[in-house]
Each structure stands twice: as C-alpha cells, then as structure tokens.
Amino acid sequence: MLFSESFQMAITALMANKLRSLLTMLGIIIGVGAVIAMVSVGMGVRSNIQTSIASLGSNMLIISPGSSDRGGPRGAAGSMTTLKYDDAVAVKNKIKNIDYVSPTVSSSYQVVNGNQNWNTTVTGVTPEFMAIRSLEVSTGSFISKSDLDKRQRVAVLGSTVVENLFGTENPVSRNIRINNQPFKVIGVLDSKGQSSMGQDQDDVVYIPLTTAQERMQGITYVQSINVQVSDPEKMDQVQEEIEELIRQRHHIAAGKEDDFNVRNLTSIMETMNQTTAMITILLGSIAGISLVVGGIGIMNIMMVSVTERTREIGIRKALGATFFNIMTQFLIESVVIGVIGGLIGIVLGCGISKLIAQIGKFTTVITILPILVSFVFSVGIGLFFGIYPARKAAKLDPIEALRYE
C-alpha cells in the first residue's frame, strides 16, 4: 500500500472529527508555542546582557585598586591609591598580546553652559579609551596625545549632556564650565543608547586623564586601568602576567595580599551566558512539559479512536490489510496531528514572542533552533505516543473486531 493512500485515510479520519482533532492538536499547539515564546524571552535576556558587556569592549581585563587595610576600618574596594598611571604604561610596554591600555579616573561634577547646568560623571581618559570602548565621534575629535601631555582643559561630551546643555546647537568649540573651571568642547560622541542595566551610556563627559588628576581632583593615582587583550585565548595568561608585574612594581612580598584586582570581562560574560542559558533551558523545559502533556492527549484520543473504529479495523483486515497497513494508517494519523499542531504552534509562538516584545518593550530573539527542535519534538511526540494505539489497532483479531458492536 502506498504512503499517499495511508496519508489520505488519515486526513479523512481527522476531518471526520474536526473538533476532536483540533482539541487534540491544542496540546501540541500550546506546547510548541510556549517553548518558542519562552526560549525567545530567554535568548532576549541573553542578547541584552551580551550587548551590554560587549559595549564595555571585548577581551577586556580591568585592573582596579584594592581596598585599603592599613589598620582601623577598611576602606571600600578601589579606595587604595597605589595604582598609578605608570603602572598602565608598564603593562603596555612589558606585556605582550595587548592591544590597548587605558587608565581612567572619574568623578561627578556640575557641568555648566550659560544658564544651563547638568550633573554628570566626568571621566579622565587617555586617547586609547576611544578604541577600547569602541566609541565614535560624531562631530569634532576625541582627546589626543598632546591634550594629555599638556593637561589641556578640553572635553568630549556624550549626546545626553549635549541635549541638556546645548539643546540643538552645535557645542563644538564652545566653552563650558566643569566644577567652575573653563573647558573647551572638542567633540561629541555618537549615541550608544541605554545599557541593559538601564544606564544611559550617553550621559558622560570625557576629559584628558592628566587634567582630571591634576587640575580637577588633585590626585596622582588612577581608579581603573582597562586592558584590551589581542587574543581571547591569551586572556588568562595576560591576566597572570599583569598580576605578577604589578605585584613586582608595588613591592608586594610573596604571600601578602594584592593591593589591586584584575577582573576578566570575558569570564564575567561566560558566567552571564551560562546563567542565561540556564534560564533559557529552564523556561524551555517547563514549556516542554506541556508538549509531553499534549503528547499524552494524542495518545488518549488515539486509544479512543482505535476502540471506536474496531469494526473498521476488522473490515480492513478481512479485506487484506496487514499489520503494517493498519499500523501505518494510525501512526500517520497521530503524526499528522503532531505536524499540524507543531506548525500552528510555531506561528503562535512567534506571534506571542512578537507580542511580548511589543507590549513589554523587551527584546525577544527568535532563532531557528528552538523552532526546529520543538517542531521535530512535536512530530516525534506524535510518533511516539501514536505507536502504542497503532500497535493495538494493528494487533486486533479480525474475527473479534468484526464482531465488535
């Protein structure tokens, strides 16, 4: 018997009980839909976190000062003043596989233009900062090496600051006051939007590191050093080398605690990825349970269907249907339920995912993998839960089946 014949029989049987077929499919529809929607939410969280970490720069090591512990109450992390600009220079010069090294200091100041004022974070940076954070200048230029050397009073503004101080005017070459000191605006940055943590990445002012240290804060130390490693494979090695070098420079004896920390953004990203992957799997598998429940629904209905159609099976067997013929007929029926249910579920799942994105203003990411997996799974469920009823049908004794009322 041809496959197309069995297929036609299955469709005829399903069409004969439209409502029942639809209700049976509903289990699969909801299951597949839920899997796709849930996984898209999980993937959305993941992509949010990834972009926010990537916006800090990739392959990044961050060196920050440790907490002060010279007796008495300990200071907060980063309160040590031992990390110097020279440490950054030494790291850059002595360690291989490093693209950029960028030391920074930052503090909050009142920034004034005419009668407009705005409170924001003012960060002292070196020219490398631009490359390390992948910043783009929309007008003007970024802080240069000579600005750094001459401790120039120049500033590069983020778009939020520009909006608040200048409105729609072009701020380049204009003068502003930061903490009552005059600064010349030399550039405006491209907007980077909000980070996934809800931080406005455009609410920033950048000035030369030396200017910030000496003219604004009157300090000699730096608050953090960002290091971009050229090869992600070398992250751990470079981290170790940096730790060793700075311990040496700070004359820290073996066994004593470091007065600085080196954090690896890639490892943070990996942890985050693992966490979001867990969340995604959790959401997906909870939704997957409804798929299995849907499969049991298929089995249930197929069992009823086999009992109801005992006589039909008897007739078919008397006319020469083999075990395989009957088995195929019923199996195709349950697989068709799985396939159609799966397809409707995919449409439903994508719809729900878009709806969540629309209403919740939340990024959802629909990828082909969960669609494929849940579809294959729903077909598999149709097949698996169809086997028992189909076998039961195919094993019926024709004499008994024909006698069945």
Structure token digits, residue 40: 């898209």
Closest CA to 262 of 225, 218, 311: 225
List 170, 244, 308, 324, residue binding other proteins (CB under 8 A): 324
Nearer to other proteins, 207 or 331 (CB): 331
CB of 332 to other proteins, least distance (A): 14
CB of 389 to other proteins, least distance (A): 19
Query: Could you give the dihedral angle defined by the CA atoms of residues 121, 123, 127 and 129, in that order, rounded to the nearest 10 degrees?
Result: -70
Q: Rule CB under 8 A: which of 292-311 touch other proteins? A: 311
List 58, 195, 273, 325, residue binding other proteins (CB under 8 A): 325
CB of 329 to other proteins, least distance (A): 10
List 305, 316, 392, 393, residue binding other proteins (CB under 8 A): 316
Query: How many residues bind to other proteins according to rule CB under 8 A?
Result: 23
Q: Is the dihedral of CA 37, 42, 45, 47 positive or negative?
A: negative
Closest CA to 102 of 55, 48, 142, 63: 63
Residue type, 309: R
Nearer to other proteins, 319 or 368 (CB): 319
322 binds other proteins (CB under 8 A): yes
Structure token digits, residue 320: 């020469």
157 class by beta-carbon count within 10 Å (0-12 exposed, 13-18 middle, 19+ buried): buried
402 binds other proteins (CB under 8 A): yes
The per-type count for the chain, helices as H runs and strands as E runs, is 13, 10
Asked if 111 contacts 162 with a C-beta cutoff of 8 angstroms, the reply is no
Place of tokens 């469709």: 11
321 binds other proteins (CB under 8 A): yes
Structure token digits, residue 192: 């980077």
CB of 391 to other proteins, least distance (A): 13
CB of 319 to other proteins, least distance (A): 5
List 19, 253, 319, 368, residue binding other proteins (CB under 8 A): 319
218 binds other proteins (CB under 8 A): no
Query: Could you give the dihedral angle defined by the CA atoms of residues 369, 371, 373 and 378, in that order, rounded to the nearest 10 degrees?
Result: 180
Structure token digits, residue 364: 């959802």
Name the one range near other proteins by CB under 8 A: 61-69, 248-256, 332-340, 396-404. Answer: 396-404
List 250, 312, 384, 391, residue binding other proteins (CB under 8 A): 312
Residues that bind other proteins (CB under 8 A): 1-2, 5, 12-13, 16, 311-312, 314-325, 398-399, 402
